Structure 1
Amino acid sequence: MGGLLTLSLFIIGLIMIVKGGDWFLDATIWIAEKTGISFGIIGATVVSVATTLPELFVSTLSSKEGFTDMAVGNALGSYICNIAFIIGICSLIKPIKVKEYFFGIKGAMMFGYLSIFYYFASDGMISHNEGRILLFLIILFIFINIFDHKNENGKRKKVHKKSIKKEEVFINSGKFALGAILIIYGAHILVDTGVEIANFLRIPKQVVSLTLLAVGTSLPELVTALAATIKGKQNISVGNIVGANIFNMTIVMGISTLASSKGLIISRQTLTLDVPMATIVSLIFILTGIVFEKIGRPIGILLLALYGGYLCILF
């Protein structure tokens, strides 16, 4: 009976995330159309913050309770999953066109923050001061998005403004808030039930954090990216993934470090397997986007194959 209840809750959490992601994306598209802000910027900021909250919650709680390996594994596992699995799946459905002007800069920033994390982690620990530095790095990303927005405005001399009805504001505000709540709490239910299932199957904590927790907390990004791809708003997909990964390496890792009394303890596996995997998929994603200005199906297959191989090594 307990197993059946856990499975039922897992399905409920999945439904919450799927429906919440649909409502949240609809509201986000409406905001972008009414404000004139590009879909790439919206995806890299507003959407990324909302979809990264599950990672932040899980990693911070894990770190506070002394499970720093789970905190690191969740954030880093989500980073890998966001590119290798989510971008891979989305590009198979429809090749992703990379139109955002600042993609190269933001992509380089995403990779650079991963490199900084590796440098801090190379001695086997991330101290509180290093955690504060990781948190501080998000400021640069915010400035880049401000410049990006100004650049978009400079290109659009005339923006056809549509009249905004009060009913539209009410409906889309409700969709935005309710969608975000469903995504966050749906992911929370998925993670809790997923951990229970993993404990029943006796799967190691680090593997749980890199797989079940990472995939569970990345479901908001997956649902949002899939919905954006299907609706033809692929810049939201790209912006969301880049933004989410930057938040994972800065805010999630930084706050998780400060939540632990001794900082984050880094395992050998993190340095020899997880970070190298994150590096490989990052370079494929960034360089392909810059050179070809799209992520085609062959690259999607490659990313998914790499992710499959990575999971096989973990298990």
Structure 2
Amino acid sequence: MENLIPFSRLAEAGTPGIVLLVAMIVVSIVTLTKGADWLVEGAAQLAYRLGVSKMIVGATVVSLGTTSPETAVSVLAAVQGQSGFALGNAIGSIICDTGLIFGLGCVLTRLPKDLFILNRHGWIQFGAGILIIVMGLLAVLVFGQPVISRGMGVFLLVLLAGYMAISIRWSKQHNPDSEMVLPVCWKPGFCLLMMLIGVSIVVVSAQVLIGSTEQIALKLGIPKSVVSATLVAFGTSLPELMTALASIRKGHPEILIGNIIGADILNVLFVTGASATAMALPIPGEFFYLHFPVMMLVLIIFRMAIMTRGNTFSRWWGLPLLGIYVTYVLVSYLMRSHFQP
């Protein structure tokens, strides 16, 4: 994005440049909101037209769109030899999606449970988290060092194809939203077009927002390490967050749940798989004592929330997840500050 919009040059241009950066922040927030609205409305209309669950659409089509920033950033980082960043982006996004976004969603509203989907896609989500850890441990036995090899990357992409195929099969077996009536009935092609436009606006607006905010933060004297540990890491999960808020605002919370589950699965199968296929990903030691344990902790809590009684998730589940996410961000920052100059 820096090649298209010279954020750093604008920050150095004095008051006019700062004013323009602030204007870009305001505009990007507006377009982010509107793009997320179009994405969610298109997904709800598509579910209605095809006679499938909104949660399934969220777990497949919507999550494919919202994880595109993670995929692009991680593959590029892998090709450039920044394996820790590539894998960290994928694992960090799982922690952000499940800890921050699901946690925030629980606090804001009562999120619905669809056990047919949660006991299928939800177990795949949990299994994907275990799989990436097992791969790293097996690599130590086979290669003598923790690494996600290219062969493992291809294997993950094969599993991705299988996941998409079985999702389509499950969607034909389950139709809890058949009684849903929408005020406007769009054709499937128009639904897909609106979703494509919406996710494109969300992704581009998120990049503009993060780029502009980053430069203003640096201009205000905030250390670069703080900026990179917060804004940049948070940026790739911004599409999921805005989609979640739009889902709640427009009365389609099922899309929020589906998007979180689907995004977690795709961060392992698609983001990590594509990155490892492009270039083998060595796993830094910190993943085994920080990132992987925190990822499994939030996935276990999410699984426990699914298994509790009731047709909705209790709002109390959001508090520990938000606490874990905030603690994780603080610990990550302190580790960077301690070990990096």
Q: Which amino acid aligns with 2:96?
A: C
The Cα shift of 1:301 comes to 0.9
CA contact (8 A) 1:88 1:303 kept: yes
Name the stretch that deviates more: 281-290 or 2-11. Answer: 2-11
What is aligned with 1:121?
Answer: 136
Kindly provide the CA deviation profile for residues 261-308 of structure 1, in whole angstroms up to 9, marking residues without a partner as x: xx1121111111011001000011122113234322111011101111
Q: Find the aligned partners of 2:207 and 2:252 in 1 and give their Cα distance.
A: 27
2:303 — aligned with what?
286
Query: In angstroms, what is the RMSD of aligned CA positions?
Result: 2.9
TM-score by length of 2: 0.81
1:36 pairs with 2:55: no
Deviation of 1:96 after TM superposition, in Å, equals 1.0
Match of 1:139 in 2: 161
Q: Does 1:307 align with 2:325?
A: yes
Offset of 1:187 from its aligned partner?
A: 2.7
Number of the residue aligned with 2:281: 264
Counterpart Cα distance in 2 of 1:198 and 1:256: 30
Determine the C-alpha separation between the residues in 2 that align with 1:199 and 1:257: 33
Corresponding residue pairs, total: 308
Aligned twin of 1:76: 91
Deviation at 1:234, TM superposition (A): 1.7
Between the aligned residues of both structures, percent identity stands at 30
Spell out, residue by residue over 1:105-152, the C-alpha distance to the aligned partner (whole angstroms, 9 max, x if none): 211111111111112223321111111111111133223312321212
Q: Is the 8 A contact 2:46 2:188 kept in 1?
A: no
Distance (Å, rounded) in 1 between the aligned partners of 2:287 and 2:245: 29
Checking the alignment, whether the CA contact within 8 Å between 2:91 and 2:267 is kept in structure 1 is: yes
d(CA) in 2 for partners of 1:250, 1:233:
26
Paired residues for 1:1-315 under 5 Å: 2=11, 4=18, 6=21, 8-122=23-137, 123=140, 124-152=146-174, 172=191, 174-193=193-212, 201-204=222-225, 208=228, 211-260=230-279, 263-292=280-309, 293-315=311-333
Contact 1:191 1:217 in 2 (8 A): no
Deviates more, 1:1-10 or 1:67-76: 1-10
Tell me if structure 1 keeps the 8 A contact 2:48–2:180: no
Structure 1 stretches of 4+ with a deviation exceeding 6 A read 158-165, 167-171, 197-200
Tell me how far apart the structure 2 counterparts of residues 221 and 160 of structure 1 sit (CA, whole Å): 24
Q: State the AA in 2 paired with 1:178.
A: I
| Gap runs ≥5 in structure 1 | none
| C-alpha distance in structure 1 between counterparts of 2:194 and 2:167, whole Å | 24
Write the distance in 2 (CA, Å) between the matches of 1:196 and 1:117: 35
1:244 Cα shift?
0.7
1:195 Cα deviation (Å)?
6.1
SS of match in other structure, 2:36: helix
Instruction: Answer whether contact 1:125 1:266 (CA < 8 A) is retained.
Output: yes
Distance 1:197 1:271, change over 3 A: farther
The normalised TM-score by structure 1 is: 0.87
List runs of 5+ in structure 2 lacking aligned partners. 1-9, 13-17, 141-145, 334-341
Q: Could you say if the C-alpha distance between residues 42 and 251 of structure 1 is closer, same or farther in structure 2, counting changes exceeding 3 Å?
A: same
